[in-house]
Amino acid sequence: MAGLSLLCGDCGAHLKSVEEAQQHAELTSHSNFSESTEAVLTLVCSTCGKPCRSQTEVDLHKKRTGHEDFIDKTLEEAKPIDLESKPKPETDVDMEAVGEGSSTSQEMVIPEVNKDMLSELEAMGFPTPRATRALHFSGNSTIEGAINWVAEHENDPDIDEMPMVPKSESKPSLTPEEMKLKAQELRERARKKKEEEEKRMEREREKERIRIGKELLEAKRIEEENARKRILELRRLEKEEEKRAREKIRQKLEEDKAERRRKLGLPPEDPTTATPSAPVEEKKPMMLPIKPATKAERMRDCLRSLKQHHKDEDAKVKRAFQTLLTYAGNVAKNPNEEKFRKIRLNNPSFQERVGSLHGGIEFLEICGFEKIENSEFLFLAREKVDLAVLSTAGSELNSAISNPFFGVL
């Protein structure tokens, strides 16, 4: 079967023609070529018509353009390799010139071949015309290739005739030094292209880092703003609670005073002549500490410490937050149910979800739970259930669960 391609024995590349093999040799300095019955792979992009010769070229084309459909035209494009297609005998050239009525004849010359390999072939006993023809048609690459060509064409009638080619085609092959310079130039070009690509990628990475930094700063600003709003709201609620407590105390004092007058048999005091006690209450030099705000900060620090101690276990931390939220919610909804206010510390499920994590038990203690019975249980007494504290705990846990940057900034 006739060869369908030329196979490079150095790198395994399949080439469609002698010209391509010569170009490949000039670029790579490879010189070991042979005929192959395997056709050159031809995959044509159905979108833009670009032909690809390997699956690697197909993958690169897909990545660069996004085109997905390719048509396999390997069998359609496959043609037998014609090793003698480029040079034409002198007689054929003369006939074509006469047939076309050309007034000028193209000058024909002997092709230039490697003189060292020609001398070796002559030393082996090959006539000069046969050796020159063999080197020219085998690509002027190796002694073995020339000998193989002679063996395949020894019955040709013009085997011992000196080949003639047009003068324009008789260009000498690149010398080893020129091949080295050409290869160096290609490597330098590839290096510069790679450096430019690396610089472009570095600029893209720098833009991405700047964008992420801006997003983190914005998220931190939003978190701080929300924290300030929560503290202001807690202080407002504390002030209202303090105001209601003062009013209750004032009413209690009035009731006690009226009761004493009743027991002594005195008439009720006239409200218009009663001395107001409110100004006395307002002269307090100091304000009471804001307990819910203080506990909220302690809760937040406790949850932040828990997440930072287990920063590589996001699922475990989230499950712990949800479990603590369940404990606080059950007590707030059912304060009279003792089963929701008592937790066994050595319970395997509790240990896995909360007890074994840094800060889990401390958070429950801030909510009012205390260790009893030789530290075997956590217990929240009914009279110590503070719905405001439990509500604060729920708010902090919800914020920690829903905020992706909690404990990170």
Give the pLDDT of residue 151. 83
What does residue 33 show for φ and ψ, rounded to 5 degrees?
Answer: -120, 145
Give the pLDDT of residue 233. 92
Give the pLDDT of residue 92. 44
Q: How far apart are the first and last CA of the chain?
A: 73
Give the pLDDT of residue 115. 83
Give the pLDDT of residue 291. 47
**What span, in angstroms and rounded, lies between the C-alpha atoms of 331 and 380?**
9
Instruction: Specify whether the CB–CB gap between 28 and 179 falls below 8 A.
Output: no
Question: pLDDT 10s per residue in the chain (409 long)?
Answer: 456 777 888 777 777 778 878 877 876 777 788 877 777 788 888 888 888 877 777 887 788 788 888 888 877 777 777 666 444 444 444 444 444 444 445 678 888 888 888 888 888 878 888 888 888 888 777 888 888 888 888 778 888 788 887 765 555 555 667 667 877 888 888 889 999 999 999 999 999 999 999 999 999 999 999 999 999 999 999 899 899 999 999 999 989 888 888 888 777 776 665 555 545 455 455 554 444 457 888 888 888 888 888 888 888 898 999 999 999 999 999 999 888 999 988 899 998 899 888 888 989 989 989 988 888 898 999 888 989 899 999 988 998 888 877 776 5
Give the pLDDT of residue 67. 87
Q: pLDDT tens across 84-106, in order?
A: 644 444 444 444 444 444 444 56
Give the pLDDT of residue 293. 54
**What span, in angstroms and rounded, lies between the C-alpha atoms of 159 and 136?**
12
Q: Which residues contact 235 (CB under 8 A, 6 or more apart)?
A: 290, 293
Give the pLDDT of residue 79. 74
Domains defined along the chain, listed by start:
178-282 (no CATH), 291-402 (1.20.58.2190)
**What span, in angstroms and rounded, lies between the C-alpha atoms of 93 and 111?**
15
CA angle 170, 172, 173 (to 5 degrees): 125
Give the pLDDT of residue 271. 64
Q: What is the CA radius of gyration of the chain?
A: 48
